[in-house]
Structures are given as C-alpha cells and as structure tokens.
Amino acid sequence: MAFDATLQLENGIAKITLVGELDASVAPQFQERIKEAADAHAQKLVLLLEGLNYMSSAGLRMLVFAKQKMGTGVKIYLIGTQEQVVEPIKQTGFHYSVIMLDTYDPTVIEN
C-alpha cells in the first residue's frame, strides 16, 4: 500500500495524517512533515494514524525524532492508532512519551 503523510497547520496545532505503510523507504517523507511542523513552531503535534496499517522500526525512529525535534514543551498526540502499530510503540515504552487517544477530541487537544 502506498504511503502518504500530509500536514495541516491551524491555531498552533500541527496535524500530520499518515496513511499506508511507514517503513525505511518512506520515513524521509514523514520526517519532512515533522520538520515543517517544527519550523512553524507548532505548540502541539497531532499524528492521525487511523489509516496507518504498518510501522517498521524506521517509523518508530521517526516518532522519536518528532519528540526530539518538536522539543520538550510540545505535546504529541497519537490518534486512532491501530493495534499492529500500537504494539511496537508499547514494546519500546514510547507510549509514555506521548498521549494516545482513540479519536480526535478537541476538548483535550485544542485547550
């Protein structure tokens, strides 16, 4: 399945929608969206993962990169993460560094 990473910036919130399979061959595309969000000085990073059905270790490295690039003051939200993607995140303990939600909740994210 083809991979796509799209960025939307609004009110200090960077939303990156990931679709398909995130592996080493497409990780640079995701990395570019992260850099764009950081360059825009986003206050929050929301990763919409409902359409992401696979993530390799390279994808996990991009999540770590996002945490480092955005800085410690920026909250990162993982929304709608599928079970096959959640598993490696939890195995590494990275779920302690982000906020995982089943759905986009504006009352939580936009306040």
CATH code, domain carrying 17: 3.30.750.24
The number of angstroms, rounded, from the C-alpha of 43 to the middle of its chain's C-alpha atoms is: 14
Q: Is 83 exposed, middle or buried (0-12, 13-18, 19+ CB in 10 A)?
A: exposed
Structural domain of residue 63, as residue ranges?
4-109
Instruction: Say how many domains are in the chain.
Output: 1
Average pLDDT for runs of 10 along the chain of length 111 = 94 97 97 98 98 96 96 96 94 95 96 83
Retrieve residue 102's tokens. Answer: 């089943």
Q: Edge to edge, what strands does the sheet with 13-22 contain?
A: 4-10, 13-22, 44-55, 75-79, 99-101
Q: What is the pLDDT of residue 57?
A: 94
- Nearest residue to 62 via CA among 33, 90, 96, 84: 33
- pTM over cut 0.75: yes
